[in-house]
Amino acid sequence: MTIAFDAATPADLPVLLRLIGELAEFERLAHECVCTEASVAEALFGARPAAEAVLARVGGEVAGFALYYQTYATFSGRRGLYLEDLYVRPAFRGQGVGRGLLAHAAAVAAARGCGRLEWAVLNWNRRAVGFYESLGARPVNDWTVYRLDPAALAPPPDGG
C-alpha cells in the first residue's frame, strides 16, 4: 500500500470540510463545528494563511489529514509547529496513515528549524494516546490549557 501526502489546495476544500466534520463527530464536538468552506479557504489560502493542511491518500482515496500552524517559543527563541488536527478515516486506521501524517508534520518542523512539534489529545481517546506514546511522544502534564471563547473576547459594553 502506497500512501501519498500532498499539501491541500483550494480544490481540496470540499473533501477537507467533510474530514473536519468527521473529526468533529468522532471527538463528540460536532456542535462546535461551525467552519465553512469560505472560512477554511481564508485560513489556508488567504492573503495571510493561518495554517497549512496535508491530505493523505491511499490509492487515490483521501484517507485523512493533518492541519498545523507555526508557533514561537520565547525561551528557546525558536519556532515551533502546532499540530491542530490529525484525523484518519476509520477504514484506514491501523495502516500507517496516522504515522505518516505525523512524520510529515515532523519533517516540516525539522526542515523549518523548529524546536518542537506539539499537539493536544482528548484524554478519553486512549487509542490516540497509546499511538502517540508508542512513537516516543510524552504528555506535558505541568501545563493547563486555558481558553477565552468569543463572548469573553468581546470588549466590555462600557468600553472599559
Tell me how far apart the terminal alpha carbons of the chain are, to the nearest angstrom.
60
CA distances from 107 to 77, 97, 114, 129 (A): 20, 15, 10, 21
69 is catalytic: no
Asked if residues 81 and 68 have their Cβ atoms less than 8 Å apart, the reply is yes
Among 72, 87, 132, 146, the active-site one is: 132
Beta strands in the chain (DSSP E): 3-7, 52-58, 61-73, 78-88, 117-119
Length of the chain: 160
Tell me the catalytic residues.
Answer: 132
